[in-house]
Amino acid sequence: MRRSSLPLFIAGFLVGITVLAVKADPPKPGEKGNPDNVPYIGKRDPNGNPVRLARATGHVSNYSEDKVPKYTLPDPLVLANGERVTTPGAWTKKRRPEILKLYQTEIYGSIPENAPKVTWEVAETDPKARDGAAVLQRVVGRMGEKPDGPKMTLTVYTPAKTDRPVPVLLSISFGFPARKGPAKAAFDPIAEVLGRGWAYATVGYGEIQPDRADRWTEGVIGLTLKEGQMRPRPDEWGTISAWAWGVSRCIDFLESDTAIDAKRIAITGASRLGKTVLWAGSQDERVAAVFSIVPGEMGASLIRRDWGETLDDMAQNFPWQFAGNFQKWVGKWNDLPVDQHMLIALCAPRPVYVNGGLTDQWSDPKGEFLALAAAGPVYRLLGVRDLGVTELPELDKPVTTGSLAFHYHSSGHTAVPADWKAFLDFADRHHKATTK
């Protein structure tokens, strides 16, 4: 080896040792979260709750109230410069755009300017669907200009007997086929919706963007990447933003359908799609109401509240669902300029209904309730009623008197029949109130 290269060699060797040392010494499990749950990592605790390890921080899932650290939520009505928002105009023109930008760049990712247009074409109609109860349209949306490019299919059921435009509940789903006829035993949410005089529309999320790691070159995101680019920029969309974009494109079609009342388009989704509809409703003000089913962490539950699934868990296990910048906040929850009460507040004054299940503590139902309550000041500022309660309600008793609604049911990670009935009542009541 030449003498002149020896210092560089030694420097590189020392850097390598440093990197190896960092990689070889991860945080000890239980340094954050609940150390009592270390024996249950990868399994369930004695109460049946899943226990997981976030390797980057050593965080272990917590389900004990006495181990939830104290936290302070950012004020949705205080601008980044410290100025307090006291009027609806200041919220609309200053604070709302400020919060929205933070979610776009740091959490879910912004939609790039070259996002494709969607061309819709009716591929199938059935005037006697569901034993004559509905008119079915199956509509194919082609993303971009290429005939062989990605497509999404929107299925729309409109009540057969109606003489005026009807409201619609648009569901972004996991793609399970809808029943072709009325249910015989199990509860049928489509029948419930149609029976209320609403239309029901559904689109499969996986057609918009695959829900997997390193599938950036497929789906709608793939259409926006430049040649040689393998993933979006750190401040651009993850899959939740892509799915929310797809919801808005479905709304484009529904607005063009004369059978639909375009001022009464509600949206729903469950779990990661519950997160999606909250984000879609936050951005797209054509959404009249949001029915977010068990949205959990990075949906409606508070990030700063250490219970069940955490930001660290999501960043580790589902990084593709978020912007690349999301990784900056691992272990730094209290430094975030937002928390999920502010996501809900972005929907104000429009109605938002969130549910949680007793046996789904991973999703932190109490944290969902607390976020709804903390969004209240924005709703009140805009002249509508908030959640109306500050204590976690009793099981199986929906709280729906305001423009924010919550149901803590005694089931799990799902919507129970009472949720569908309560949401439709809730949405109908608000429409009547706003059209007087």
Has 410 been annotated as catalytic?
no
3-state secondary structure string across the chain: CCHHHHHHHHHHHHHHHHHHHHHHCCCCCCCEECHHHHHHCCCECCCCCECCEECCCCEECCCCHHHCCCCCCCCCCECCCCCECCCHHHHHHHHHHHHHHHHHHHHCCECCCCCCCEEEEEEEEEEEHHHHCEEEEEEEEEECCCCCCCEEEEEEEEECCCCCCEEEEEEEECCCCCCCCCCCCCCCHHHHHHHCCCEEEEEEHHHHCCCCCCCCCCHHHHHHCCCCCCCCCCCECCHHHHHHHHHHHHHHHHHHCCCEEEEEEEEEEECHHHHHHHHHHHHCCCCCEEEEECCCECCCECCCCCCCCCHHHHHHHCHHHCCHHHHHHCCCHHHCCCCHHHHHHCCCCCCEEEEEECCCHHHCHHHHHHHHHHCHHHHHHCCCCCCCCCCCCCCCCCECCCCEEEEEECCCCCCCHHHHHHHHHHHHHHHHHHCC
Q: Which residue among 173, 248, 413, 431 is the active-site one?
A: 413
Catalytic residue of the set 61, 110, 241, 271? 271
409 classed as catalytic: no
Q: Which residues belong to the active site? A: 271, 413
